[in-house]
Amino acid sequence: MNKIYFYRVMRLLLCFLLGGFLTVSAASYSQTVTLKGTHLPLATVLEAVRQQTGYEVAGNKSMLKNSKNITISAENMPLEGFLDQVFSDQPLTYRLVDKNILLEKKKESFLDIFLPSRHSGPAEGSLQQTITVIGRVTDSLRQPIAGATIRVKNGNSTSSSGSNGQFILNNVPIGTTLQITAMGYQPKELPAKAQMGSIVLHITQSALDEVQIIAYGTTSRRLSTGNISSISAEDIAKQPVQNPLLALQGRIPGLVVTQNTGLAGGGVTVRLQGQNSIYTANGNDPLIVVDGMPYPSQTLRFSGADILKTSGGGVGNTGNGSPLNYLNPSTIESITVLKDADATAIYGSRAANGAIIITTKKGLTGPTRLTADYQQGWGTIAKKLDLMNTSQYLEMRREAFKNDGLTVPSISTTPTNTDYDVNGLWDTTRYTDWQKVLIGGTAKTTSANASVSGGNDLTKFLFGGTYFKQTTVFPGDFKDQKGSANFSLSNTSKNQRYKLQLSTSYLYDKNILPTTDFTASTIFLAPNAPALYKADGTLNWAPRPSGVGSWTNPMGTLLNHYENTTKTLLSNAAISYQVVSGLIVLANLGYNYLNIRDFTPTLAASVDPSRLATFSRSVTSSNSTISSWIVEPQINYKKNLGPHSFDMLLGGTIQRKNSNNLYTASYGYSSDLLIRSLSSATTVYNTPIDLIYRYSALFTRLNYSYRKKYILNLTARRDGSSRFGPDSRFHSFGAVGAAWIFSEESFVKDNIGALSFGKIRGSYGTTGNDQIPDYQYYSLFQNLTIGVPYQGIATLTVSNLYNPLLQWESTRKLSLGIDLGFWKDRIIAGISYSKNRSSNQLLPYSLPSFVGFTSITSNFPATVQNTIWEFSIQTYNIKRRSFSWNSSLNFTSARNKLAAFPNLASSSYGSTLVIGQPLSITKNYNLHGVNPATGLYQFITAKGELTSSPAYGTDRTVVVNTAPTFYGGFQNTIQYKGIQLDVFFQFVKQKAYSNDDYFRGSMGSFQSGSNNQPTYALERWQKEGDIKPIQKYSTTSANETISGYALNSGITDASFVRLKNLSISYLLPKEVNSELHFQNLKVFIQAQNLWTFTGYKGLDPESLKSAIPPLRTINLGIQATL
């Protein structure tokens, strides 16, 4: 399919839908029938049809003579459904041609010849009287239930309800009982009578029947053919988090969510069923969809500050933080995670790494109600490292001099000496717990939410607003403040044909932080470093005899405030019209806007005054905007033909995303007061980024089920992406999924009474991946910045080589699973197996230096395989009127490996990748302890020899996987009357570097005031013959190389079990609420990251960074509904 043909098809589809919206009202006018009567001749019924719809009987009308009388009760019933019921027990059938009803004699089937009809009357000679039963099956909200089975108990007569819930059951013996059943509803038995009226079925209280949002539709765990997991608003509300992704931690099988910093607005890395792409600069993020609108998973490039940390890296010019920080968790109704090809293929290449669908809250039918909650919280660092005190530290330093054969220097004899901690310049009796002073504060949180909602069957609304404020654990006035507003409005026409859904949210956030997270420098800082302030309250720089400061005062860094201001707008509209019964045309329209401005100054007040002569004030700033719109016209047709159910979808996608960023670096300000005036800078450099991403697709899905027992789901999509050249711009993807609900088989029902539900499912399909930087196939140019341009003319240089052959990465996904329910679904368990193979990898191809480029993006015949086992179990241990206890457990075992990479050894990736090993491996030296004779670390070389100077290229023979090997979570919910307790544990099995980037360099050296060590470093070699885990102390930088070798070999177990969430709430009794004039009043306490059980020696085994770890937070709150 070429580009021109593709867009013609898209235009035709849009025109069809537009024409449908404009003409459907006229086309469907009077195509419903209202008629009530008993024992009516068929000719009379057809005459009523002609008067109401204009459809006339054509053909041989004498055929009506042998017809049977009809008893019917229909109100606004679609024509075809009405005629299906009228002719269901007639010797005739019909066809609609133009405005004619053609009558035909019904042909007997093979079974009709040899078997009695199930609709036949009583046997000849039987005296039992029969009636025709008419009724309508609805749910508790009076909405029709299609496909319900109506059966004569202990008899053969059966019928099923149509799309409007109505049914007719002929030849029902008087005095018998009817059984009414529908999947997901409690069965009901009623005495048979001619007019049954509305039969209300209630939803079964089973987690299998909870609605799950999927791509372009909904399903349930009972009927889905794909691998899908979800959490509800109730689960989110129990967690004091501001990024909705953090609410998923440990709760979704196959999903790993890592919080990279404990600061508000920080980065969050998400990996769903492993890493598919070798090149981490390409996208490994799942697709994020908010109310049908794709939402960015990465920000654009920020200014110089990296305090917010990244979200795992992404496509092109990605920045720090996470865009999901700008979605208000309190407005979210559910989060659904789609994993396998059956669930994600309809999203095409955008969901190569899975999809996370976020659905926001909408208005509900009922009286207008006001709901408000207020929370106050406190957060601290959960763990302090056991570091050396002043005595231990100075012992280490002095021993280092002794080991090196040196004398401890003195500032009085050697004024230029820089060992300030031991030479007498710094007080050797002073001790400061820097962890307590600099990162030991309390981050205070204030949160307030309010919403008004209500409506009737036709119009529903919701308006809400939120205020949030969180400070930091750093000293100083740093805080993140945000406010948001959201609304949702839906309307349905009286005839239930036209539906409109609108939703919009806006958020403003201003985050003020230090320019640097000095957690690492805090840990390394010498315990006898000077006081932060002098007696007069000014910063203490502890000057040397020359007058120059001897250290970098951390409080000086805090004077440079990093500012991040964000505005985000999300809007969505869904418009639909029911053309005829079961046929709906609809369009989803969406727009989102994310603007982030950040500002990073370096002020003169932040540096040692003695350095001002050579200091230049500077500012780095950026203004980035990601805006996108999407149009998705669709046609959906649902049809029930007896036990057969069909759900067909045809649609298209047109999407455009604009990414703009202006990065500015300015220097030479004459005063700190002028730092915000760009015109006051003497030198300004601008780096603009302007990217356009276009995406279009055609997609279709067919879901078929037989008696809701055998289910088949077919999906196909044709994708077009602007990130590839004209020869490879379009690609097709598809998937097939199937499920067998074997618990509905009679042989299971009759023999396995404990089994209430059983389903086997499987899927296979392909998806692509276009998550690469834009314009990679183009020959690109960029400005060349030089000091003095030739003749003052701006110069361009080539920045990217042309590659029209750039192709899509391809991922093939296989998924198998079984879901089981026992004892009326008191126990629900599931097991899933997935094998995903990603090939045609997009990687930089190294080029020789004479080409003028280091690399060009190209496709490699490499294959990455992810194998995942997922287990989940949910139990209802106790279920009483006033007491209940539920438990849930999920467990995931994951294995990632490089399955194939031809000529790997000769490629530039041979030093980092190993076939058969995970992508996350590190190659390490084989540490063999400390040499008892020399006191230095020794290593086993590739030849099996011992050395203290291993070769980087050949001696890194130990391969270690640092990705989690298994993970999961365990939750218990206990409720007694109005008191509810929720306890959730998260667990992860993984390995990491034992130093975790905290302790580096030679133990005993002095690096600008920073080189304190943990107390376990006291177990060091001191004399010949010592057997110790730590080598001898040294002041020399040459020994840092050996120390670095050891650090790259010190892999440790970083597994942990964390009490992730604890929530206790109390809902006041109805009598108290009534006296206080509340509908509901609830008080609660919530805790996050309360305790962590681990052998890991760093600050936190989750983030594994020298940054503020996830905080231990405790929130108190109250929620009221009026």
Asked if residue 490 lies in contact with residue 499, where contact means CB atoms within 8 angstroms, the answer is yes
Question: Is residue 302 scored above 70 in pLDDT?
Answer: no
Question: Is residue 720 scored above 80 in pLDDT?
Answer: yes
Distance of CA 711 to the CA centre of its chain: 27
Categorize the per-residue pLDDT at 1045 as very low, low, confident or very high, splitting at 50, 70 and 90. Answer: low
pLDDT of residue 29: 38
Q: Over the stretch 850-882, which tens digit does the pLDDT of each residue have?
A: 777 788 888 899 999 999 999 999 999 998 888
Cα distance between residue 560 and residue 1092, in whole Å: 34
Q: Minimum mean pLDDT among 462-466, 573-577, 705-709: which range? A: 705-709
Q: Over the stretch 641-660, which tens digit does the pLDDT of each residue have?
A: 878 889 999 999 999 999 99
CB burial of residue 1098 (10 Å; 0-12, 13-18, 19+):
buried
Mean pLDDT for all residues in the chain:
87
Q: Over the stretch 1003-1036, which tens digit does the pLDDT of each residue have?
A: 888 877 778 989 988 999 999 999 999 999 998 8
CB burial of residue 1029 (10 Å; 0-12, 13-18, 19+):
middle
Residue (of 651, 650, 736) closest to 696 by Cα position = 651
Of 87, 107, 127, which residue sits at a domain end?
A: 107
Tokens at 401, concatenated: 């001099």
Question: What average pLDDT does this structure show over 1035-1045?
Answer: 68
* Ordered strands of the 56-58 beta sheet: 56-58, 100-105, 92-97
**What is the chain's Cα-based Rg?**
35
Question: Is residue 742 scored above 60 in pLDDT?
Answer: yes
Q: Over the stretch 798-819, which tens digit does the pLDDT of each residue have?
A: 888 888 888 888 999 999 999 9
Residue (of 573, 568, 677) closest to 619 by Cα position = 677
Categorize the per-residue pLDDT at 606 as very low, low, confident or very high, splitting at 50, 70 and 90. Answer: very high
pLDDT of residue 528: 95
pLDDT of residue 640: 83
Q: Minimum mean pLDDT among 113-122, 823-832, 844-853, 1052-1061: which range? A: 113-122
Same domain? 52 vs 86: yes
Is 1105 within a domain? Answer: no
Asked if residue 192 lies in contact with residue 172, where contact means CB atoms within 8 angstroms, the answer is yes
Percent of the chain past pLDDT 90, that is, above it, reads: 54
Is 45 within a domain? Answer: yes
Asked if residue 658 lies in contact with residue 626, where contact means CB atoms within 8 angstroms, the answer is yes
Asked if residue 592 lies in contact with residue 563, where contact means CB atoms within 8 angstroms, the answer is no
Of 83, 107, 131, which residue sits at a domain end?
A: 107
Question: What average pLDDT does this structure show over 35-51?
Answer: 84
pLDDT of residue 53: 83
Q: DSSP secondary-structure letter at 1108?
A: P
Q: 62 or 421, which is more confident?
A: 421
Same domain? 50 vs 102: yes
Same domain? 17 vs 42: no
Same domain? 70 vs 89: yes
Segment (H or E) for 690: strand 683-706
Same domain? 59 vs 7: no
Categorize the per-residue pLDDT at 946 as very low, low, confident or very high, splitting at 50, 70 and 90. Answer: very high
Asked if residue 87 lies in contact with residue 57, where contact means CB atoms within 8 angstroms, the answer is no
Q: 126 or 608, which is more confident?
A: 608
Same domain? 39 vs 92: yes
Residues in the chain, total: 1122
Distance of CA 436 to the CA centre of its chain: 35
Asked if residue 468 lies in contact with residue 1115, where contact means CB atoms within 8 angstroms, the answer is no
Domain of residue 61: give its range: 31-107
Sign of CA dihedral 229, 233, 235, 240: positive
pLDDT of residue 647: 94
Categorize the per-residue pLDDT at 10 as very low, low, confident or very high, splitting at 50, 70 and 90. Answer: very low
Distance of CA 373 to the CA centre of its chain: 26
pLDDT of residue 205: 66
Categorize the per-residue pLDDT at 16 as very low, low, confident or very high, splitting at 50, 70 and 90. Answer: very low
Question: What average pLDDT does this structure show over 777-792?
Answer: 75
3-class SS of residue 632:
strand
Is 12 within a domain? Answer: yes
Is 1056 within a domain? Answer: no
Cα distance between residue 835 and residue 869, in whole Å: 9
Segment (H or E) for 988: strand 979-989
Is 102 within a domain? Answer: yes
Instruction: Kindly give the residue spans of alpha helices, DSSP state H, lying in 288-433.
Output: 341-344, 390-403
pLDDT of residue 716: 94
pLDDT of residue 115: 39
Question: Treating both helix axes as pointing N-terminal to C-terminal, what angle do 42-53 and 79-86 enclose, rounded to 10 degrees?
Answer: 170
pLDDT of residue 11: 52
pLDDT of residue 995: 57
Question: Is residue 287 scored above 90 in pLDDT?
Answer: yes
Which residue do the tokens 């763990």 mark?
Answer: 383
Q: From residue 213, give the alpha-carbon distance in Å to each of 288, 347, 469.
A: 13, 14, 32
Is 566 within a domain? Answer: no
Q: For residue 115, give every residue at least 6 positions away whose Cβ sits within 8 Å of its Cβ, in sequence order, or none.
A: none
Beta bridge partners of 690: 660
Q: 785 or 133, which is more confident?
A: 133
Q: 138 or 402, which is more confident?
A: 402
Beta bridge partners of 593: 569, 627
Q: Model-level pTM?
A: 0.83
Tokens at 628, concatenated: 């996108």
The domain that contains 87 carries what CATH number? 3.55.50.30
Same domain? 2 vs 20: yes
Cα distance between residue 372 and residue 711, in whole Å: 43
Q: Minimum mean pLDDT among 12-21, 131-140, 404-413: which range? A: 12-21
CB burial of residue 115 (10 Å; 0-12, 13-18, 19+):
exposed
Cα distance between residue 738 and residue 712, in whole Å: 4
Q: Over the stretch 664-717, which tens digit does the pLDDT of each residue have?
A: 999 999 999 999 999 999 999 888 888 999 999 999 999 999 988 999 999 999
Q: Which residues of 202-231 are buried (b: 16+ CB within 10 A; e: fewer)?
A: eebebbbbebbbbbbeebbbbbbbbbbbbb
Same domain? 85 vs 35: yes
pLDDT of residue 583: 92
Is 813 within a domain? Answer: no
Question: What average pLDDT does this structure show over 577-605?
Answer: 93
Categorize the per-residue pLDDT at 124 as very low, low, confident or very high, splitting at 50, 70 and 90. Answer: very low
Domain count for the chain: 2
Q: 629 or 317, which is more confident?
A: 629
pLDDT of residue 113: 40
pLDDT of residue 462: 95
Q: Which residues of 856-875 are buried (b: 16+ CB within 10 A; e: fewer)?
A: bbbbbebbbbbbbbbbbbbb
pLDDT of residue 988: 97
Categorize the per-residue pLDDT at 255 as very low, low, confident or very high, splitting at 50, 70 and 90. Answer: very high
3-class SS of residue 115:
coil
pLDDT of residue 370: 93
Cα distance between residue 230 and residue 251, in whole Å: 9
Biggest alpha carbon–alpha carbon distance for the chain: 128
Of 46, 80, 107, which residue sits at a domain end?
A: 107
Instruction: Kindly give the residue spans of alpha helices, DSSP state H, lying in 358-447.
Output: 390-403, 434-439
pLDDT of residue 24: 36
Q: What are phi and psi of 438, to 5 degrees?
A: -100, -30
Q: 387 or 184, which is more confident?
A: 387
Beta bridge partners of 447: 375, 468
Residue (of 790, 612, 632) closest to 697 by Cα position = 632
Same domain? 46 vs 98: yes
Tokens at 1044, concatenated: 């670095």
Of the chain, the end-to-end C-alpha distance in Å amounts to 58
Question: What average pLDDT does this structure show over 359-379?
Answer: 92
Asked if residue 429 lies in contact with residue 390, where contact means CB atoms within 8 angstroms, the answer is yes
Question: Is residue 505 scored above 80 in pLDDT?
Answer: yes
Q: Over the stretch 1056-1085, which tens digit does the pLDDT of each residue have?
A: 999 999 999 999 988 888 888 888 899 999
Q: For residue 806, give every residue at least 6 positions away whose Cβ sits within 8 Å of its Cβ, in sequence order, or none.
A: 724, 725, 728, 776, 777, 842, 857, 858, 859
pLDDT of residue 1119: 93
Q: For residue 45, give every residue at least 6 positions away whose Cβ sits within 8 Å of its Cβ, in sequence order, or none.
A: 35, 70, 72, 86
Same domain? 92 vs 75: yes
Distance of CA 283 to the CA centre of its chain: 14
Is 13 within a domain? Answer: yes
3-class SS of residue 457:
coil
Which residue do the tokens 């940054």 mark?
Answer: 1107
Same domain? 103 vs 36: yes
Same domain? 38 vs 97: yes
